Chain A
Amino acid sequence: MVRLPYTTALTTLFSYGLLFAFGQLRDFFRKFVDWFKAKNIKGYAPICLGLEDFYVRRLYLRIQDCFGRPIASAPDSWFDVVERTSNDNNKTLQCTSNTTRCLNLGSYNYLGFAAADEYCTPRVIESLKKYSASTCSVRVDGGTTKLHAELEELAARFVGKPAAILFGMGYVTNSAIIPCLIGKGGLIISDSLNHNSIVNGARGSGATVRVFQHNSPAHLEEVLREQIAGGQPRTHRPWKKIIVIVEGIYSMEGELCKLPEIIAVCKKYKAYTYLDEAHSIGAVGQSGRGVCELLGVDPADVDIMMGTFTKSFGSCGGYIAASKEIIQHLKQSCPAHLYATSMSPPAVQQVISAIKVILGEDGSNRGAQKLARIRENSNFFRSELKKMGFEVLGDNDSPVMPIMLYNPAKIPAFSRECLRQKVAVVTVAFPATPLLLARARICISASHTREDLMKALDVISRVGDLVGIKYFPAEPPKIAEADHDKLE
């Protein structure tokens, strides 16, 4: 739920209308200019429909330099951003050999494992020497090493489920698993702001997909009642099974899922639950066990728990944790397990070491320190931003905080001005977010020190004033009052 001034809504709509009108005008004239150009596709049908890339050509390419910036170092709290130039007004970009050292507010480096770590990196290098960079095989053929087996057991234990299965890519974990769990005749009810991987998996499964209002257990109940009563479309037979898919932390909103209420609704109507903890595993919870621990939900109540290793563990890949029977079924039927190359062994070792640090099994309390630091950093940063008058989404304890920009012109303004002041932020626009709700998404890390955060706040405040995104009145600074007045 975002609150924006009414005039901002009007100006945002007007800006998009203007950009759209100019884009259409340019396309119209381009048609004449290209009329005389020789076409060498005689007889072939065009690969792309000309209309579909209007948004990319006329809106996205204008501000292309704000997205996809290449980096030249590990994504630690400070990193090197490659400078790019353009000779044709951002239509093409050329990388230069210069880099700028910037503060990193965009990487999903929640616990600081993205850069060299004193426990993880030596072990990763050792495993690289022993197992080499790739298993060169599929899991079922020769691609299961000791490390894979160890990580599967460790991931299951970490999350609190009986068994787990690994995949080489986080996106594929969702899009290849969901079709194995449900098919035609089943019903998937997914949150309206679910990630593209879930949407893709749901579409690929062949099941009927229904969407419920973001994070609203009441609407979920309404949809469940309507669908169970109605049954399958046209035949009205009962559904073969119903799976409700939600995420732990929504990456574009920074919000936590209302998990206890949603689980209660699902139990009432006997629907299965699938929890995608891509952003919350390792980053929230007392011991980093994710949103179940934070909200006090028993992991046994969630049927399938999915997570990725890319965010808090500094590696790549994903996992599914569920009961032994489900994991066994997935190992026989999931194409990502049967036909895709297994995870790279050094990446597996990185996750194993990271989980050991988080659990404290490496013999130190660095894990607990990191978790405490990220919680502190997130809460401090969010409250300071709110005090300055920015519209910041997300719940407390969540390390993801989107700052609302709204107007399309403020996206490149904010992004470029911050880069000029050596702070690298990620801005998100349509179609990853709704058209009017463009935002700058900040990801806080445990490796950010207090000085880093103060510098970031300072820069963001100045840029925010310049760009005009302080939509709420700022809190006046508290005047320190004397402890007590001495009247005598």
Chain B
Amino acid sequence: MGRRGEPYYVEAAPPVDVNKNTEWFMYPGVWTTYILLLFFVWLLVLSVSGCSPGAAWTVVNLAHFAITYHFFHWKKGTPFAADDQGIYSRLTWWEQIDNGQQLTRNRKFLTVVPVVLYLIASHLTDYKQPMFFLNTIAVFVLVVAKLPNMHKVRIFGINADI
């Protein structure tokens, strides 16, 4: 990157987001780190288990589903005692980012990632059951959870209130 071994610099202007739980997502390099992380976990799974690439992508997809669902859509509040008098203690991380604004670039990117993972995993497993079924459930739940209509919605009261 850059000319002749000089590092490539990016500028990090402090974003105007008072919620410290989510403002780290507005810095440069976050999207790349996310994608690289998924790619390296796939390599790890492939090298450790020695399964087919499609099965490895399925494992990555399902693990991604479990982890992102837990941390983005299940855990509420902030993992540190911010003196904001608990205004975010009923909101999941997804509902907190970008100050609650819908359809921002970050949100669109995060919605596209599970879909792309699904397409890669399904293609490389030739759409065979049972992987196809599991992958479809994963992408369905994740995309529906990220829709703007689901902002602050708790179905059947699951995960409502503290």
| Contact status B16-A213, CB under 8 Å | yes
| Contact status B37-A17, CB under 8 Å | yes
Query: With A49-B77, A435-B20 in contact, do A3 and B37 touch (Cβ < 8 Å)?
Result: no
Residues of chain A within 8 A (CB-CB) of B48 are none
In the complex, what distance in Å separates the CA atom of A435 from the CA atom of B8?
Answer: 21
Q: Does A258 contact B (CB under 8 A)?
A: no
Q: Number of residues in A with C-beta < 8 Å to the partner?
A: 41
Residues of chain B within 8 A (CB-CB) of A55 are 79-80
Give the distance to chain B from A338, nearest Cβ to Cβ, in Å: 25
Q: Does B155 contact A (CB under 8 A)?
A: no
| Contact status A211-B78, CB under 8 Å | no
Q: Number of residues in B with C-beta < 8 Å to the partner?
A: 35
Residues of chain B within 8 A (CB-CB) of A477 are none
From B9, B24, B75, B83, contact of A434 by CB (8 A): B24
Q: Does B33 contact A (CB under 8 A)?
A: yes
Give the distance to chain A from B81, nearest Cβ to Cβ, in Å: 5
| Contact status A9-B20, CB under 8 Å | no
Q: Which of A151-180 contact B (CB under 8 A)?
A: none
Q: Which of B1-58 contact A (CB under 8 A)?
A: 1, 6-14, 16, 18, 20, 23-24, 27-30, 32-33, 36-37
Give the distance to chain B from A221, nearest Cβ to Cβ, in Å: 15
In the complex, what distance in Å separates the CA atom of A284 from the CA atom of B20?
Answer: 31
From B9, B14, B33, B89, contact of A192 by CB (8 A): B14
Query: With A6-B29, A9-B12, A436-B24 in contact, do A51 and B79 touch (Cβ < 8 Å)?
Result: yes
Query: With A1-B11, A13-B29, A13-B33 in contact, do A56 and B81 touch (Cβ < 8 Å)?
Result: yes
Give the distance to chain B from A440, nearest Cβ to Cβ, in Å: 17
Give the distance to chain B from A305, nearest Cβ to Cβ, in Å: 25
| Contact status A4-B9, CB under 8 Å | yes
In the complex, what distance in Å separates the CA atom of A9 from the CA atom of B89?
Answer: 29
In the complex, what distance in Å separates the CA atom of A434 from the CA atom of B14?
Answer: 8
Most buried by B among A10, A12, A213: A10
| Contact status A211-B10, CB under 8 Å | no
Interface of B is mostly: loop
Residues of chain B within 8 A (CB-CB) of A435 are 20, 23-24, 27
| Contact status A4-B80, CB under 8 Å | no
Q: Which of A378-437 contact B (CB under 8 A)?
A: 430-431, 434-437
Residues of chain A within 8 A (CB-CB) of B82 are 431
Q: Does B85 contact A (CB under 8 A)?
A: yes
In the complex, what distance in Å separates the CA atom of A352 from the CA atom of B20?
Answer: 40
Give the distance to chain B from A200, nearest Cβ to Cβ, in Å: 7
Residues of chain A within 8 A (CB-CB) of B13 are 1, 213
| Contact status A6-B11, CB under 8 Å | no
| Contact status A10-B29, CB under 8 Å | yes
In the complex, what distance in Å separates the CA atom of A430 from the CA atom of B111?
Answer: 28
From B8, B16, B30, B36, contact of A5 by CB (8 A): B8
Q: Which of A190-239 contact B (CB under 8 A)?
A: 192-193, 196, 200, 203, 211-214, 219
Residues of chain A within 8 A (CB-CB) of B8 are 5-7
Q: Does B158 contact A (CB under 8 A)?
A: no
Residues of chain A within 8 A (CB-CB) of B1 are 6-7
In the complex, what distance in Å separates the CA atom of A12 from the CA atom of B78?
Answer: 20
Give the distance to chain B from A269, nearest Cβ to Cβ, in Å: 19
Could you list 8 further interchain pairs (A-B, Cβ under 8 angstroms) beyond the known A6-B9, A196-B83, A436-B27?
A3-B10, A4-B9, A5-B10, A9-B29, A48-B81, A51-B77, A192-B18, A430-B20
Contact residues of B with A, CB < 8 Å? Answer: 1, 6-14, 16, 18, 20, 23-24, 27-30, 32-33, 36-37, 75-83, 85, 89, 162
Contact residues of A with B, CB < 8 Å? Answer: 1-10, 12-14, 16-17, 48-49, 51-56, 192-193, 196, 200, 203, 211-214, 219, 430-431, 434-437, 471, 473
* 29 A–B pairs (Cβ distance < 8 Å), ordered by A: A1-B13, A2-B11, A3-B9, A3-B10, A3-B12, A4-B9, A8-B7, A9-B28, A9-B29, A13-B29, A13-B30, A13-B33, A17-B33, A49-B89, A49-B162, A51-B77, A52-B78, A53-B81, A55-B79, A192-B14, A193-B14, A200-B83, A212-B16, A430-B80, A435-B23, A435-B27, A436-B12, A471-B7, A473-B6
